[in-house]
Structure 1
Amino acid sequence: MKLTYFQLEPHLARQLAAVYIFSGDELLLKQDALSLLRKAARKAGFSGRVRIPPEAGFDWEQLYSLLYSTPLLAEKRLFELDFRDSGPNKAAAKILQEYAKNPVPDIILSLDTGKIDSKTAKSAWYQSLEKAGVVISLWPIPREQLPQWMIQRARKYKLSLQPDAAGLLADYVEGNLTAAAQAIEKIYLLQPQKPVDIELIQNVLTDESRFTLFDFIDSLIAGDTPRTLHVLEALRAEDTEPVLVLWGIARELRLLADYARRIREGCTYEQLFQQQRIFPRRQAAVRRFLDRFSAADCRGLLVHAAEIDRVIKGAVKGAAWDCLRLFCLRLAG
């Protein structure tokens, strides 16, 4: 059975299949889809979770034992296999093909793959698993469906995003799902006491007389320190909560750490920009950042951000805005 992203949640509410294949390079959608499966599996009593990462040294012959062995607590388990960077080798393919013929009742098998090409689609292991379960191909969301996706995502934060407001937000983010998700999380942090309408979206995101959090983040990763500090001061003057600024920094650093990992593993910048749908106006800034900082550097900066979070929460003495300025200067080198 083949499902779209929007069909997955209703399907999981009705039933659980023996096998799920999540294909595509839309990272945010895939994270959401995997999260939906994990939540549904836990609700159905699949309390165990076994994840097999893409480690070069893993002996795939062990997969057979893992699938067919009985755990000590006799718990139902969700098995997650990561084939994003390369498909299963001959040993794994043979095991998966045989497993598809006779799935274990107390196991849900989940495969995370890249885009399914014609060669993979014709392979025996893939066709066997497709017959035994569900395939969810995660493609970029068309502009006309983006407001629907935003409304659904806002609902997870207990926000009522009005259709016209969702349309405006879709125009604002230019189809960038990550920017849309950031905007919704920002609105959630503001804890609005009413449905999110056009007026609120305009006040939060599109007031041209004010700097936005996105202006700050863009300047920060571009390495434009004078403008970054200027925008930061403007946000402080507008009574922006420091926690919002820190959230924007941390969110961007997590994404950049993932980008840096992909570059280290051999992905070209052109491939990265296409796969992650990074708009042309941000590509130069992202490239400059990744030329300067590695994934490990990003993790170190996230540790620094966590220290600022403790200051904001009052666990450590300090002035939050001063800490944020020092962070910006550290990023400038």
Structure 2
Amino acid sequence: MQVYPDKLEAQLKRQLAAAYLIAGDESLLQRDAVDAIRASAAEAGFTTIETTVQDASFDWQAWRSSCSEMSLFGEQRLLELRLSTAAIGVEGSKAICEYLSNPAPDSILLVTAPRISGKPKWLSQFIQAGVYTPIYPVDSHALPTWLAARATRHGLRLQREAAQLIAEKVEGNLLAAVQELEKLSLLFANANNKQAVVIDLEKAAKAVGDSARFSAFNMLDHALAGQPQSASRALAHLKNEGNDPAALTGPVSYELGKIASLLELKENKRLADGIKSLRLPPKKREIYQRALPRINQTDISRCTMLTARADLLGKSGQRAAAYNAIEMMLLRLAGTPMPNENAILDYSFR
């Protein structure tokens, strides 16, 4: 069966399955699911954990044989298999399917994996014989609600405005979000008081640090995702931190070069091959796949010109004008070009 993370605890309370598959790229949520399964398994007497990590030289037949071996002292085992890739090939698929067709009676299989594309045979077998829990990132709209629910674990009750502020600060970084909740708990929660402490906007603003992952590359990710306001906010953060604009133009130029190469492949109908060859993380790959259909060579040419102008302006001490040029570049990349681009490009050095 397929069980989403918010329903996993209820499933574990009803009945332990013979096998669990937790797959996705959000490490915090994957860890939460694994911890819940471990706790339920231990409570049911599965106290021995045997961990195996799959790598390039992994012997699937040896793993399959070890799973079938009975425990020497009759312990009930939790067999953890950590996949480094979801593309496990024919041999891996066969080994997992064979195990699922005849699981060891004294064991529970727990497989963790990156996000699985499509529906390979071994995944279908998992859904039939065990429990498959897909892990998806928490999108920006759902993050305040997720934070409010998570806060209850720390003895906190977040008001809506406080949850929204924290969500804006952490920019989707769930590990950073949990750290902020832990900080709020240390500052305001009372261990001797079972009642949740209300965190309003004022308390959150005083306590929460700005852990947003603002960097030149993340700034560009916002632009490529068609989020001009987020891109401008990221740029403003970098500016307020005192970064030299010339220090940003290097990473920007590097990224624009990759996009230009991919656009050439798009014209030759080889875009998918080009994206695959870059070996991008899944989230970055998605950003490219969504952005490239709307971006053309003119956009990249203008962005390259604006970036070059920003570099010259920054090195000439024209910091404000350099940041204006970078923002113009971001807005065009986000699909909202400004009519005064030429004014920036024609800016005279004084």
Q: TM-score, normalised by structure 1?
A: 0.58
Distance 2:81 2:113 in 1: 9
Residue 165 of structure 2 corresponds to residue 168 of structure 1: yes
Residue 131 of structure 2 corresponds to residue 134 of structure 1: yes
Q: Write out aligned runs for 1:1-333 (5 A).
A: 1-118=1-118, 121-123=119-121, 125-190=122-187, 192-193=189-190, 194-205=197-208, 212=209, 214=211, 271=281, 274=284
Distance 1:276 1:83 in 2: 22
Classify 1:267/1:73 alpha carbon distance in 2 versus 1 (closer, same or farther; 3 Å).
Answer: farther
2:169–2:211: 8 Å Cα contact kept in structure 1?
no
What's the CA shift for 1:70? 1.4
Classify 1:72/1:58 alpha carbon distance in 2 versus 1 (closer, same or farther; 3 Å).
Answer: same
Q: Give the letter for the 2:55 counterpart.
A: E
Corresponding residue SS for 2:163: helix
What's the CA shift for 1:270? 5.2
Q: Give the letter for the 1:155 counterpart.
A: T
RMSD of Structure 2 on Structure 1 (CA): 3.4
Classify 1:128/1:70 alpha carbon distance in 2 versus 1 (closer, same or farther; 3 Å).
Answer: same
Distance 2:134 2:164 in 1: 25
Distance 2:180 2:62 in 1: 44
Classify 1:22/1:168 alpha carbon distance in 2 versus 1 (closer, same or farther; 3 Å).
Answer: same
Number of residues of Structure 1 aligned to a counterpart in Structure 2: 227
Distance 2:162 2:69 in 1: 51
* Residue matched to 1:328: none
Deviations 1:242-295 (A, max 9, x none): xxxxxxxxxxxxxxxxxxxxxxxx996953773899xxxxxxxxxxxxxxxxxx
What's the CA shift for 1:132? 0.4
What's the CA shift for 1:48? 0.9
Deviations 1:127-166 (A, max 9, x none): 2222001111111113343233223333333434445532
What's the CA shift for 1:85? 2.3
Ranked by relative contact order (alpha carbons within 8 Å, sequence separation 6 or more), the top structure is: 1
Distance 1:110 1:161 in 2: 34
Classify 1:148/1:37 alpha carbon distance in 2 versus 1 (closer, same or farther; 3 Å).
Answer: farther
1:101–1:132: 8 Å Cα contact kept in structure 2?
yes
1:28–1:178: 8 Å Cα contact kept in structure 2?
yes
Distance 1:157 1:117 in 2: 35
1:27–1:276: 8 Å Cα contact kept in structure 2?
no
Query: Over alpha carbons, which structure has the higher Rg?
Result: 2
Deviations 1:41-100 (A, max 9, x none): 112221011111123333221222221211122111111112232533433322221221
Classify 1:191/1:105 alpha carbon distance in 2 versus 1 (closer, same or farther; 3 Å).
Answer: farther
* Residue matched to 1:258: none
Q: Give the letter for the 1:26 counterpart.
A: E
Corresponding residue SS for 2:180: helix
Corresponding residue SS for 1:110: strand
